[in-house]
Amino acid sequence: MKLLPVGHTRKPFGKDGFLKVFIESPYDEIIENLRALFITIEGSDVPFLISKIRINGNICVKFQGLHTPQALEFIVNRNLSIHVDELPAELKVAPSKSTSEFLHYTIQNASGEKAGQIIKIEAFPYQLMATVQNARGKTFLCPIHENIIQDIDHEAKILVIDIPEGLIPDA
C-alpha cells in the first residue's frame, strides 16, 4: 500500500467529535474528495474513514465511529497520510522508465565537480527525487527536474545539473 505523508492531526474541536488537522498544500485542496485518512499509531498507518469535513479557517474532520472529544484523544498530534490512489491525476507522477533511468548515474555540476552517485530514485508529486551518496558516504536528496538538468551523458552515466545552493552536505 503506497501512502503519501501530507500533514498531522491537531486537537479535538467542539463537542461533536471533530478533529483539527493540518494538511500541506496542495493536498488541503483535495481533502473534501477523500474517503479516508491514515493516521500513524505505534508505527502503523491506520485508516480512518471520513464522515464529515468542515473548513472554516481550520480543517476539521469527523471520523466514523469517533463521536466525542475523548474518543479522539488517542489520535491527537499524529502523522497523517493519504493513499496515492485517492490523488487526482494532476498530483500523481505517472510511473515510467524515468523513475529508474538515472539510477547509478554520477551527478556533477557544470564545472565537473562530482556531487555523488544516485543510489535511489523516488517519484514525488511534481518531480523525481534522487538519493545521492557522496564520496564520504553521506547521502542527500537532489531533485531531478528538467529545469535544472543541463546535460546527460548516457554512455558515461553522468547527469550534469545546476546543483541548488546548500544541497550538498559539508564533510
pTM: 0.56
> DSSP code of 72?
H
Cis peptide before 143 (omega within 30 of 0): no
Mean pLDDT of 60-81: 94
pLDDT in tens, 115-171: 999 998 887 766 778 899 988 888 888 888 777 888 888 889 999 988 767 777 665
pLDDT in tens, 34-55: 999 999 998 899 999 999 999 9
Whole-angstrom distance, CA of residue 66 vs CA of residue 19? 10
Look at residue 165 in the predicted model and tell me its pLDDT. 72
85: helix, strand or coil: helix
pLDDT in tens, 82-112: 998 888 866 665 444 445 678 889 999 888 8
Strongest mean pLDDT among 3-7, 29-33, 140-144: 29-33
Look at residue 96 in the predicted model and tell me its pLDDT. 43
Flag the least confident range among 10-24, 61-75, 118-132. 118-132
The dihedrals phi and psi of 98, each to the nearest 5 degrees, come to -60, -20
DSSP 100-135: HHTTTPEEE-TT--EEEEEEEEEEETTEEEEEEE-T
Does 19 score more than 80 pLDDT?
A: yes
Look at residue 95 in the predicted model and tell me its pLDDT. 42
Whole-angstrom distance, CA of residue 133 vs CA of residue 110? 19
Look at residue 97 in the predicted model and tell me its pLDDT. 41
